[in-house]
Amino acid sequence: MFYREAGDFKTSYQDDNQTFPIKFDRYRYYFVLFVAFAIIPFMINDYWVNAVFLPFLIYTIAAIGLNILTGYCGQVSLGTGGFMAVGAYAVYKLMTLFPEVNVLIHIVLAGVVTAGVGVLFGLPSLRIKGFYLAVATLAAQFFLVWMFNRVPWFYNYSASGQISAPERTFLGEVITGPETEAWAAYLVCLVFVTLSAILARNLTRGSLGRKWMAIRDMDIAAEIIGVNPLGAKLSAFAISSFFVGVSGALFFAVYLGAVEVGEVFGINKSFLVLFMIIIGGLGSIFGSFAGAAFLVLLPVFLKNVLVGGLGWPTDLAAHLEFMIVGGLIIVFLIAEPHGLAQLWRVTKEKLRLWPFPH
């Protein structure tokens, strides 16, 4: 009885076309934003930020990026780890080459650099489709990781091959480096997530998003009705890589602080983000949030229950985690191929009728 469109009359085209036409949805969205921006920063501490919130926010941006490429445009990509590495190294080089410029601008520029690299590795998608493209993106993944390991210019000729984020401030508050306060790191990531989600939602609602979905559903038919496959696929790669690059830059600069590219941005990262969008729901912005939350919280939950609660050794917990993640992927693919986002949509549909049965 709360979730109704009845009585809510739209009097302008702008109102009619808005993202959340139902009043309840709109107020819920404002409420979530209010809690996220105005309440959580005051209640947060280091553990929650580092274990839960920062990985959740950063992986959400990466999941939004991969969802645009794989969920909306249908181009399977296993190169997410490599592109996150590009974002991280780009922001590192920019921070060290131009230390006076604000680090937030550097993060956006790192996204632009990654978009360029993404377009380059997306060029084969015009000839190669499906699995073959997935394997071709593996070429991007392995090559990029190798390149960042071997070419010393990228890590400023340091002896260890690691890169570490120098301290930077914004409006007088430290946001990168080891002295960062928990709430400052959280707010930076939250702002990026909000802007990314708004940008992605509006892109996918517009004509570009419709072109992507046409390519996904049947690319030859799309070409026949006038969708330019070159433009649509390359723009999907570019925009997706922009988001993934921004997430990689934040991952390095704000969250980890120091990175060794082989272990942090390896193939496991690519699979992790892919699992997030599968579980969350392909082709859904909310699904990116849901999948990222699920796969960030699951290991934390398992560790607290199994190791903290039952006293099992950590390697058992790690093996069980693998089994549960793999099992859940299969369960989701069988029972609900459209992921948590579909479950959410079905819930909303049921709520619109509640308390009536039909």
Interface contacts to another protein, rule CB under 8 A: 76, 124, 127-132, 134-136, 138-139, 142-143, 145-146, 149-151, 218, 220-221, 224, 267, 271, 274-275, 278, 311-313, 315-316, 319-330, 333-334, 337
Choice between 20 and 146, CB closer to another protein: 146
Choice between 13 and 322, CB closer to another protein: 322
Tell me how far, at minimum, the Cβ of 76 lies from another protein, in Å: 6
Choice between 17 and 268, CB closer to another protein: 268
Tell me how far, at minimum, the Cβ of 267 lies from another protein, in Å: 7
Q: How far is CA 72 from the centre of its chain?
A: 14
Choice between 79 and 248, CB closer to another protein: 79
Choice between 76 and 292, CB closer to another protein: 76
> Pairing relation of β-strands 173-174 and 169-170?
antiparallel
Tell me how far, at minimum, the Cβ of 114 lies from another protein, in Å: 18
φ/ψ (deg, to 5) at 169: -120, 160
Tell me how far, at minimum, the Cβ of 324 lies from another protein, in Å: 8
Look up residue 237 and give its two tokens: 């790669």
Choice between 43 and 334, CB closer to another protein: 334
Q: How many CB atoms lie within 10 A of CB 267?
A: 16
Choice between 249 and 277, CB closer to another protein: 277
Tell me how far, at minimum, the Cβ of 246 lies from another protein, in Å: 25
Tell me how far, at minimum, the Cβ of 294 lies from another protein, in Å: 14
Tell me how far, at minimum, the Cβ of 141 lies from another protein, in Å: 8
User: CA–CA separation, 129 vs 75, rounded Å?
Assistant: 7
Choice between 212 and 275, CB closer to another protein: 275
* Neighbour-count burial of 45, counting CB atoms closer than 10 A to its CB (0-12 exposed, 13-18 middle, 19+ buried): exposed
Choice between 150 and 358, CB closer to another protein: 150
Tell me how far, at minimum, the Cβ of 340 lies from another protein, in Å: 15
State the number of CA atoms in the 13 A half-sphere of 85 facing the CB: 29
Tell me how far, at minimum, the Cβ of 321 lies from another protein, in Å: 7
